[in-house]
Structure 1
Amino acid sequence: MSLFSIAFWGFLFVYGGILWFLSPKVKSFDGFFKASDEKGREVNVWLLSTSIFISWIFAKSVTNAANLGEKYGIVGGVAYAAYWLCIPVAGIILYRLRTKYNATGLVSFLNSNYGKFASFCFSIAILIRLFNEVWSNTSVVGGYYGESGSMSFIIAALLFTFITLIYSLKGGLRGSVITDIVQAVIFVIGVGFVLTFVLPKYSVGEIVSTGEWSLVGGVDLLLVALLQIFSYPFHDPVLTDRGFLCSPKRMLISFIIAGLTGFMAIFIFSFIGVYAGFEGINGSNIPASVAGSMGLAALFLMNIVMISAAGSTLDSTFASVSKLIAHDWIKIINPNLLSKSVIIGMISMVIIAVVGNFPMFFGIDILKATTISGTMVIGMAPIFLLHGVVKINKLSFYLSFFFGLFCGFIEVFGLFPKALYIGSGDSAGLLGVNLYGLIGCFILYFLGAYIAKLRS
């Protein structure tokens, strides 16, 4: 084994050891599920902003940003960065739900307003999202150690999963928030070094002038993102769980800061993809291809960036699965088991770590983990945006939620009529189903309220 291989694999163990050491050992209910410190204090703005920022900089996200930068130029980078506008949008909506309707969590909020079945349907949607977060991030890390499906790819992905699981079991959500600081620092420094390989050759002016601002040039994907930002954040508990960790005002400030910095980070990272376009570098993993073309040092730095990005999301995913099953579900189904929540939460982490890696073996396109799941939950937009605007009723929830789910499925199976496509770009169908689907969800939400009014 070469010195480089030793360093490459060794970093995984060093990374895991550092985060294990820094992650606090948490046994309390509030620490494990609400990220409170040992004295019961809630997270502050700085800590929460950093945690949201790095937790949403998924390994698949930076890979997608670079891939789209290579495909569409800077238009692709802007299109994917637009998803980070979800964060301030979510912050504003959560602020309203918390201050005006006393929401303490989304699952409990839906349960109290729309019933157990509504909260169960929502829970399944976010559980699917969390499932996707496991394989899509471990696959990115595995891709730096070998070709998809190869032994080195699988070993690296599973080893990375195990390392992340170990310190997640130790610290719960508190550990996830604390280790996010280290991961954010590693990510920012790593990206800075990687960009030093790119920017000296091509100026910022040259990079931002690339691409074509048209539907066929990637604007269709940008419009998809702008349509989904009103629903997309609510099926991601990695984000929304952090909306209830401190006072509404602190939360809102943190979400705005994290959203703006996240947008800029993804936009800047897409420069790597634009560079690849200039250099004629292509492939399914542009960051790895670009780094490989620059030498072993650049490849090693890119690996560090991806591991830190993937790790911050994966440990947050484990914490969110734990909270969903051992806190939110138990609180509704059998509150008497709350005393055992931490143990049940740890068991759920182990299960999702194993099951969540199954799709990794089949080489599924990681972009689909974002766009398709985002379509399936467009029905959540009117439910959270219009809550209280019309009389609260279960029918509005079900009509909007299931129509959104239906739109997602017809997109997955390619059943959306081509006559309704918008433009002729690669995302023409996706844009069509999101636009017409979102309009349909709002109409059905109001229809449900009207029917409920007639019944009463």
Structure 2
Amino acid sequence: MQAAVIIGLFGLVILASLLVAPRRATIGGFFSGAGVDGRAPGLWVLVLSQVTTWIFARSLMNSAILGYFYGIWGTLAYAAYYGSFLTGGYIVGRLRAGGAGSVQDWLGARFGATGNACYNLVIGLRLLSEVFANLLVVGLIFAAVLPEVGVAREAAILIVAALGLAYSAWGGLSAALRTDVLQMVVFLGVFAAAFVALVVSPGFQIGAVLTAPGTAGAWNGQVLLVVALLQVFSYPAHDPVMMDRGFLADPATTRKSFLHAFWISTLCIIGFGFFGIQAGLIGAEYEGELIGTWAGMFPAWLFIALLVSLLISALSTLDSALASAARLVVDELKIGSRSLMAGRGAMVVFMALGTLLTLWGNQTLFDAVAVSGTASMFLSPVLVVGLVMGRQIALWSYLVAFGAAIAGAVTYFARSADWAVALLPEGHKYEQLLVICVAVLAVGFAAVLSGARRA
């Protein structure tokens, strides 16, 4: 019964998304998000689109899982990544003031094709991780609610991938913006009902939640908070979904959209983390990325509301990731002409690769954030010294910073390998991640400052 209701509600959201997607696709709308009349998106379209593409299913699950294990510190650590709206808005403002139309514009003017190739590699991997992680949550949900159906996970992933690709490939970025608004409004309604039900439930105490150490203790949550603060300047710059939306409207509208997106998304992430913290407080056993845990904790309607909100957020991120993939391939990599066919071809490739990664069997949600966040850290010294301080940076310095960041990301991802064990200190994986981040920043800033000169 629960599965039927979840499928029915999610099906209605998909149908509504197909209905609000633009009926006529244009080149400007597909790649730049312009409306049928050629106008740029308004303030609240940008705000809701920014929020719904950043509080995606993986993030909601991560916040709840970190809250379960590390209490309020785990949830705050993940919420700290949403300071990216403040740092991202600042970076966009500086780029636009200097006449750049994208991060690639700025990097290309200083480091040529080599500089852009390094950056595009990182954001290509980021987009693949977006597709992979959100489809993974879809699979986890349907495997949990349809345990008697052996292929429920694989079937759900394939169906959602096909439907998400269908309306994304039709309208591109303009479709993503329009459906984001619908999906965000529905998400906020569903999530608000679930959150109120949690807060008024007999066993909920706000004081206990705000001081909860989690089932594994607060220390590693505190370590992860430091990691997030180290990554929060570079993190938004490697997220093409956020950066693409920074160049669609006029500067004043864009600046306001980043500020509103910051507080709305941060509150949503912390609120969703409460569900994980509460599960830890009442002593619920961790089961199936918390999905099985919630099934035993909450009444059926609340459990359904939580899962539907996760599915909606997954869908809303998939279309935006595909729209950014199309722009990356066609506008930045210059593969194919600037046509609907080329953009749709790029979407198909990214969705296919992301789906294959998901079906491959990897179940790790936070590692995708940690790896891509570490890989992006080469941008911190480059942007601080080059964009903020206005210095010219030698290409070799840029490449050393890039190499250090990629080495750090690979080391964290392969931390169980013999060679990585020999390099890393003993300790929890988040303590190892903190050491890696400090080393990456130290090498990156040393190289960039050594190769910097006044413009």
- TM score, norm. by length of structure 2: 0.91
8 Å CA contact 2:224, 2:430 repeated in 1: yes
Aligned to 2:111: 114
Aligned to 1:23: 21
**SS of residue matched to 1:36:** coil
Separation in 2 of the partners of 1:188 and 1:7? 19
Equivalent of 2:138, from 120, 138, 141?
141
Separation in 1 of the partners of 2:62 and 2:150? 22
| Matched residue type, 1:145 | F
Separation in 2 of the partners of 1:286 and 1:197? 18
| Matched residue type, 2:330 | A
Q: Can you give the 5+ residue segments of structure 2 that lack an aligned partner in the other structure?
A: none
Q: 1:426 to 1:393 in 2, by over 3 A?
A: closer
Aligned to 2:163: 163
Q: 1:267 to 1:293 in 2, by over 3 A?
A: same
* Aligned 1:241-320 pairs, distance under 5 A: 241-281=244-284, 282-320=286-324
* Aligned 1:12-411 pairs, distance under 5 A: 12-99=10-97, 101-146=98-143, 150-199=150-199, 200=201, 201-211=203-213, 216-281=219-284, 282-330=286-334, 337-338=337-338, 341-361=339-359, 362-388=361-387, 389-411=390-412
8 Å CA contact 2:70, 2:219 repeated in 1: no
Post-superposition offset of 1:27: 2.4
8 Å CA contact 1:131, 1:356 repeated in 2: yes
Q: Can you give the 5+ residue segments of structure 1 that lack an aligned partner in the other structure?
A: none
**SS of residue matched to 1:144:** helix
Separation in 2 of the partners of 1:144 and 1:269? 16
Deviation per CA, 1:289-308: give whole Å up to 9, x if none.
Answer: 21453243223212210111
| Matched residue type, 2:302 | A
Post-superposition offset of 1:215: 7.0
> CA-atom RMSD, angstroms?
2.3
Separation in 1 of the partners of 2:179 and 2:157? 20
**SS of residue matched to 1:391:** strand
| Matched residue type, 2:430 | S
Separation in 1 of the partners of 2:402 and 2:301? 48
Separation in 2 of the partners of 1:138 and 1:130? 13
Separation in 2 of the partners of 1:426 and 1:397? 28
Separation in 2 of the partners of 1:303 and 1:214? 27
Separation in 2 of the partners of 1:123 and 1:377? 11
Post-superposition offset of 1:420: 6.7
**SS of residue matched to 2:143:** coil
Post-superposition offset of 1:418: 7.6
Post-superposition offset of 1:37: 0.9
- The ranges of structure 1 where at least 4 consecutive aligned residues each deviate by more than 6 angstroms after the TM superposition are 212-215, 417-420
**SS of residue matched to 1:25:** coil
| Matched residue type, 1:34 | S
**Count of residue pairs brought into register by the alignment:** 442
8 Å CA contact 1:390, 1:446 repeated in 2: no
Worse overlay, 387-396 or 351-360: 387-396
Worse overlay, 74-83 or 41-50: 41-50
| Matched residue type, 2:12 | V
Separation in 2 of the partners of 1:215 and 1:419? 26
Q: 1:202 to 1:371 in 2, by over 3 A?
A: same
Separation in 1 of the partners of 2:150 and 2:439? 41
Post-superposition offset of 1:426: 4.2
| Matched residue type, 2:131 | V
Post-superposition offset of 1:285: 1.4
Post-superposition offset of 1:225: 0.5
Deviation per CA, 1:141-176: give whole Å up to 9, x if none.
Answer: 121111599410111111111111111112210111
